[in-house]
Amino acid sequence: MQSHIFLEEICVTLNKKLLSNFPTIAPIDSSCTLEQYLEKEIDIFKLENHFNNWNDLKSVTR
């Protein structure tokens, strides 16, 4: 059974916005499944940047 979480238009729109500063990374399209996303092994949602941003903020407020 394939997960179709990436068929949601919000994921496609969000991904394009998040990658606006990363022109070498192609955004996902609406036909991408979760399995295909995971197989690429590329952080196209820049989740590492989100974590680092949160973590840096946390260290400033300590």
List, in order, residues 6 or more apart from 48 with CB less than 8 Å away. Answer: none
Report residues of the chain scoring pLDDT below 70. 1-9, 57-62
- pLDDT given for residue 58 in this prediction: 59
User: What is the total residue count of the chain?
Assistant: 62
d(CA 28, CA 7): 10
- pLDDT given for residue 36 in this prediction: 83
Record the pTM.
0.53
26: left (phi over 0), alpha (psi -120 to 50) or beta: beta
d(CA 54, CA 10): 22
Give the whole-number percent of the chain exceeding pLDDT 70. Answer: 76
